[in-house]
Amino acid sequence: MTMRLSVHRASWPMTARFVITGHVFDSLEAVVVAVEQDGKVGRGEGVPVYYLQERSEEMLEQIEAIRPAIEAGVSRSEIQELLPHGGARNAVDCALWDLEAKQKQVSIWELTGVEPRQRRTAFTLGIQERPELMAEQAARARDYSLIKIKLNDVDPVERVTAVRAARPDAEIIIDANQGFSFDLLKSVLGPFADLNVAMVEQPLPRGADEALEGFSSPIPLCADESCLHRGELQAALQRYDMINIKLDKTGGLTEALALAREAREAGKGLMVGNMLGTSLSMAPAFVIAQLCDFVDLDGPLNLKSDAMPSMHYRGGAVEAPRSQFWGCP
């Protein structure tokens, strides 16, 4: 059956500049896909994977290049071969999931066999000039019992100490975004353990984390940039205790579900994250959230406005998509 494809770029201003190791976000750049068939419309959103040098313009070109295949009635399995892992495929894959839910008049939960429940989400603190500024931000996020701290190699222990003093009640996880050396990692793990840090995400650079093989960390280490999809899972299994799954890395919900299953079968913990994104990105990621130990789906909270309809955030938690939104008939 033929489909009609609509695709466009979208830009969403952020509430404030967001700083992580090696990158600064002033706005969210995304590509939005809609596929229509027999009067039903499925939608998906993809965000560039910045450290792979993806750009929204190129994502748009990737999708336009396979427009004939999509409009001829492409399947989810076929799209895995037509587009590479990344934000472009994520947008199309998620749109196809949404379309199927609306065509069959069933929810994404019936399609995937995953049981939905409200999930606690992290509130993420970007890197700021002084530790006390991050502590102040953590104190304002009182509703959030899980705080994620972005760090680089500048005063990491001092920053975590300040946040811990401001939020003695919170569970704290760390994301270095490839910003540590192995020597620095070894020096901070003890202090982090003393500060009751629950997990450290991507401490070493992608492609330069062999030192973690055989290394015994007092805190679980989680792969993010070092595990994009199942093709990179085997190496990550030798180096990390957890895998952070992001749909823009995997290239959609289809691959994300497969990656989650294989990582769990290997005995690894799971986290779901985001590359920022509106609620249209968070909704399919919320499916993966049901399978995870840690959930980080606060992307829309960093935006001045959100896609409508939107996900519902309340009391530090995020709820399942509602009727007429993504994955709902």
Query: Which 3 state secondary structure label does DSSP give 173?
Result: strand
Phi and psi for 110 in degrees, rounded to 5? -70, -35
| Contact present, 88 and 63 (Cβ < 8 Å) | yes
User: Which positions ≥6 away from 129 have C-beta within 8 Å?
Assistant: none
User: Which positions ≥6 away from 117 have C-beta within 8 Å?
Assistant: 290, 320
What angle do the packed helices 131-140 and 156-166 form, to 10 degrees? 30
C-alpha–C-alpha distance, residues 240 and 202, integer Å: 9
**Which tokens hold the place of 55?**
């750009």
Report which secondary-structure segment, H or E, holds 244.
strand 242-245
Chain centre distance of CA 271: 9
C-alpha–C-alpha distance, residues 2 and 68, integer Å: 10
Chain centre distance of CA 252: 11
C-alpha–C-alpha distance, residues 95 and 100, integer Å: 9
Per DSSP, the chain holds a count of helices (H) and strands (E) of: 12, 14
CA dihedral of 237, 239, 243, 249, whole degrees rounded to 10: -90
C-alpha–C-alpha distance, residues 125 and 135, integer Å: 9
Comparing CA positions, the residue from 214, 281, 319 lying closest to residue 10 is 281
The separation between the first and the last C-alpha atoms of the chain, rounded to the nearest angstrom, is: 20
Residues known to be catalytic: 150, 246
